[in-house]
Structure 1
């Protein structure tokens, strides 16, 4: 059967500018491109999971404006159930200022999000999940909505025995009551450092950061390490999974969201975490080779094709497609 995934999180319209270099304080530079694209960590993760074959429901909030309509339509077009994407009466839809620097040295990005309606999502908006959350195989959350909402959803999930994945981005303090409800936590290097005070650079530092996160009560720790891939620990063993280069990097904006959506789709379909990491790295490798957030997210067929020769692509295909 298709994995059933609940995503509680953000929807953001990205306003994307590309240039050869970032401007310095007080400086103006000439850019070479501008576009808008649907994004938001929650929506990106939901769309990625849906494109990979999961049955996905999203809970979030947008403004009563054209950006909000576009974001809902984009999610719906990828197969996401948008019934529980609510509309804020006063706040506008969130926007993200995405700056992409691309030159001979490589590609980097900087993102500033104005949360708008995302921060209008209230704990009472998710009361309906108290019982229905048991319908899902996993819940995915991030830090682009109020922590009170995350805490309530995680509490409901824990009470029903439903696994919870927290992607603690953008970086912010994780409340103890939330940590105690998590099955998985997946920070990048910056977020891991902010949470535990250890930057996971080098094997010893990664091991220490993982240990500290386990000590906080999280059963499974997954740290993404950029070009170095990722590290996963279930408390018994620590596994490093290298990144997978599919094509030259064009835009890394949605790489982490693609990874989270793919990993959660695979593990909720019964795939081992070690194999799910490879699946997720393939998805992220495709994503960074394209421009935009949701526009860059690959389909199931594209990821399976990229996995040829890994030795277990048939297992993943059958598990997710239910054949």
Structure 2
């Protein structure tokens, strides 16, 4: 029998590219690398010519070197091992066809679908509509909220494509997923007078002042939002500065501090201050560890 079909078929068992007719080749040479080849039933069939062919793709041409022309072959065969070696690619077979990928980048160079028993090299499968260029936010929703790095990786490997327009999509689910705790709600405190609550915190300057001050203690009145700042050379001076501030409040405003809101640092959580608060009926309100939001007024 002679083969009138010009279709190529991928074959992992072949040891050479085999073709039945010279019209299926780009270059033909009147020489034979081998006088004959052995086929599946054990018989030998003659080789008349040798040639080269090119499979065009949208990415780069794929070469078929040293194709043996054997008029009696029934199917045109591509020797997979030689094909992958000559084109620096891989061939991946699946139940629906096969994909030719660049060995280094893993980009898909060629995809052929088939429902038959063999793996014929057909026209490239059309790109599904779902894979056409869309906005990044569309892919973000289709792929169930991947990160930007994952999207860039998929695009660089030509698994997806999208336009360069920057996505304005703001994913509420991702925002919640990245939270390590629930949102802090505002407390509707009813403050009726000054110094009912005083907020305090320490600020550290990256550069010491000309007077040697590197720290500053802040006292903020919740009612008036008025702020007092005292410079410190060391954090241990907080106790003395609080005594000065409390005396100032007593003399100038004829009242005392009712509650003191601060962080849980050692400059506030110490014996001197705690005894002072206890002896004068000042309620101390420490924020929880690693929860600066509870002291956000002074923060």
TM-score under structure 2 length normalisation: 0.23
TM-score under structure 1 length normalisation: 0.22
The structure with the largest helix share of the pair is 1
> Bigger relative contact order, structure 1 or 2, given CA contacts below 8 A and separation 6+?
1
